[in-house]
Amino acid sequence: MSHQPLGLYIHVPFCTVKCSYCDFNSFAGIEDLQSEWEAAALTELSLWAPRLRDRRISTVFIGGGTPSLLPGDSIEQLLDSIRMQMHLAPDAEITLEANPESVQPDRLASYRAAGVSRISMGVQSLNSAELVFLDRIHGADRAEAAFAEIRAAGFDNVNLDLIYGLPGQSLETWQSTVNQVLNWCGDGPDHISCYALTVEEGTPLAARVASGRVIEADPDHVAEIADWTAERLEQAGFEQYETSNYARRGLKCQHNLIYWRNQEYAAIGPGAHGFLDGVRFHVVRSPRAYIDRLREPNSPEEAPEGLPSPAIAAAERVGDLENVIDALTSGLRLVEGIDEGALPAVYERVRPVLDWAVEHGLAQRRSGRLSLTKRGHAVANEIFVRLLEPTNA
Ligand code: SF4
């Protein structure tokens, strides 16, 4: 059995409303598909089981969408199906994403009984005007109450997602959000993800920006907020281990570390992305099409690259250089950086970009590892663009 950690991602496409900034594969108003989605997901797990028989699954991430809309017995069935057909590590990190308005004590108790070990809740802001701007349907009070319910259900590994850099957001309103969550239930969450708002193409927010109704935040102001955040969270006992992620007591997100370390993960559910045996793939995005494809599964030979699920829409074998660039663009987001010595020989083709970054104080080499400096993290995208220049192809 391979001892490389293997992640398993399960995508839940349901949301109560669609937030203005969101480009995830999530949909409001399709609740009537929930039981068919569940049946399809169970079928897809069974199709994957023989392929993953020799692998030990160290993390499961039930993401979305809003998985906390699902009843406890749905989550129980999914996790039982994994346990019965695959090798799920007894100490596996099992994360479920939640939103404050759908968190309920009885559901939380059943998630925990089913084996969920980590809750990741999308709070985003505690400022009423900012929540309205984002189309979030919960208020600050509900978010705090949901956190208390999560703790009361016994979860001792809880992440909160927050978003900064909103148009018109002052440093003070952001500071107020961060300071409040740090005091929830006495000592706040175990993990915080702070993402800068990005305007994603095709979202209602992008249309508002294009029409001039919304003016994006000034990048210098956003950088000031990011600097304050890093200092404040460090002072509160969090370790920054990735550009946007902070953990207490070593509770880094093991599933996301698999992504950032360019390791392997299987993926099921509409729109889910996976990486296995050198192949990147994604599942068909439409929940209806996903359900239809799994109702009468084709023979496995018909799935691309010999992958086991007929719901896989596309798959591509990753070339050596592409894989190195993937390892760099994800691994350099981590404070630990990457082990240059472990990269294959083709790394020499892009190494001059990293040498340039070191010469300019954007990256550093220490004990055989290459990592970005603070300045490098701030301009990481510029480094990544250079890695992708056609001269490297
Ligand atoms: S709740 Fe999350 S997944 Fe759903 S629309 Fe909002 S941001 Fe997107």
Instruction: List Cβ neighbours of 210 (8 Å cut-off, separation of 6 or more).
Output: none
Q: What is the pLDDT of residue 194?
A: 96
| Average pLDDT along the chain | 94
Q: Which whole-number Å values give the CA distances from 103 to 68, 229, 369, in the listed order?
A: 6, 27, 41
Instruction: List Cβ neighbours of 223 (8 Å cut-off, separation of 6 or more).
Output: 378
Q: Which whole-number Å values give the CA distances from 226 to 56, 192, 198, 240, in the listed order?
A: 37, 13, 14, 12
Instruction: List Cβ neighbours of 91 (8 Å cut-off, separation of 6 or more).
Output: none
- Residues 208, 99 share a domain: yes
- Residues 330, 248 share a domain: no
- Residue 55, classed as helix, strand or coil, is strand
The answer to the question of residue 189 being in a domain is: yes
Residue whose Cα lies nearest atom 2 of ligand 1: it is 65
pLDDT at 155 over 60: yes
The answer to the question of residue 300 being in a domain is: no
Q: What is the pLDDT of residue 298?
A: 64
- CA of residue 368 to ligand 1 center, whole Å: 40
For the stretch 253-279, pLDDT in tens is 999 999 999 999 999 999 999 999 999
pLDDT at 150 over 90: yes
Q: What is the pLDDT of residue 277?
A: 94
Residue whose Cα lies nearest atom 7 of ligand 1: it is 22
- CA of residue 202 to ligand 1 center, whole Å: 15
Cβ < 6 A, ligand 1 pocket: 15, 18-19, 22, 24, 26, 64-66, 99, 122
- CA of residue 68 to ligand 1 center, whole Å: 12
- Domain containing residue 347: CATH number: 1.10.10
Residue whose Cα lies nearest atom 8 of ligand 1: it is 22
- Domain containing residue 74: CATH number: 3.20.20.70
pLDDT at 184 over 70: yes
- Residues 250, 337 share a domain: no
pLDDT at 300 over 90: no
Bigger pLDDT: 297 vs 190: 190
Q: What is the pLDDT of residue 301?
A: 53
Q: What is the pLDDT of residue 305?
A: 83
The answer to the question of residue 307 being in a domain is: no
- Residues 228, 362 share a domain: no
The answer to the question of residue 280 being in a domain is: no
pLDDT at 392 over 80: no
Tokens of 168: 């018109």
The answer to the question of residue 57 being in a domain is: yes
- Residues 254, 160 share a domain: yes
- Residues 171, 243 share a domain: yes
The answer to the question of residue 151 being in a domain is: yes
Q: What is the pLDDT of residue 390?
A: 58
How far does Cα 250 stand from its chain's mean position? 18
Q: What percent of the chain has pLDDT over 90?
A: 89
- CA of residue 98 to ligand 1 center, whole Å: 10
Amino acid letter for position 335: V
Residue whose Cα lies nearest atom 3 of ligand 1: it is 65
pLDDT at 391 over 70: no
For the stretch 3-33, pLDDT in tens is 688 999 999 999 999 999 999 999 999 999 9
pLDDT at 78 over 70: yes
Q: What is the pLDDT of residue 126?
A: 97
- Residues 231, 153 share a domain: yes
- Residues 192, 118 share a domain: yes
For the stretch 190-248, pLDDT in tens is 999 999 999 999 999 999 999 999 899 998 999 999 999 999 999 999 999 999 999 99
Domain span at 221: 2-259
Q: What is the pLDDT of residue 226?
A: 92
For the stretch 89-140, pLDDT in tens is 999 999 999 999 999 999 999 999 999 999 999 999 999 999 999 989 889 9
Domains identified in the chain, total number: 2
pLDDT at 393 over 90: no
Which of 208, 224, 259 is the last residue in one of the domains? 259
The atom of ligand 1 lying closest to the CA of 22 is: 8
What mean pLDDT do residues 329-342 have? Answer: 95
- Residues 163, 26 share a domain: yes
Predicted confidence band of residue 2 (pLDDT cuts 50, 70, 90): low
Residue whose Cα lies nearest atom 6 of ligand 1: it is 19
Q: Angle at which helices 105-114 and 72-85 pack, to 10 degrees? A: 10
Which of 242, 259, 276 is the last residue in one of the domains? 259
Which of 234, 259, 284 is the last residue in one of the domains? 259
pLDDT at 297 over 80: no
Q: What is the 3-state secondary structure (H, E, C) of 175-234?
A: HHHHHHHHHCCCCCCCEEEEEECCCCCCCHHHHHHHCCCCCCCCHHHHHHHHHHHHHHHH
- Residues 215, 117 share a domain: yes
b vs e for 51-78, b when ≥16 Cβ sit within 10 Å of the residue's Cβ?
bbeebbbbbbbbbbbbbbbbebebbbbb
The answer to the question of residue 182 being in a domain is: yes
The atom of ligand 1 lying closest to the CA of 135 is: 6
The atom of ligand 1 lying closest to the CA of 136 is: 6
Predicted confidence band of residue 308 (pLDDT cuts 50, 70, 90): very high
How far apart are alpha carbons 161 and 124 in whole angstroms? 6
The model carries a pTM of 0.95
Torsion angles phi and psi, residue 65, rounded to 5:
60, -170
The answer to the question of residue 233 being in a domain is: yes
- Residues 120, 202 share a domain: yes
- Residues 155, 49 share a domain: yes
What mean pLDDT do residues 330-357 have? Answer: 95
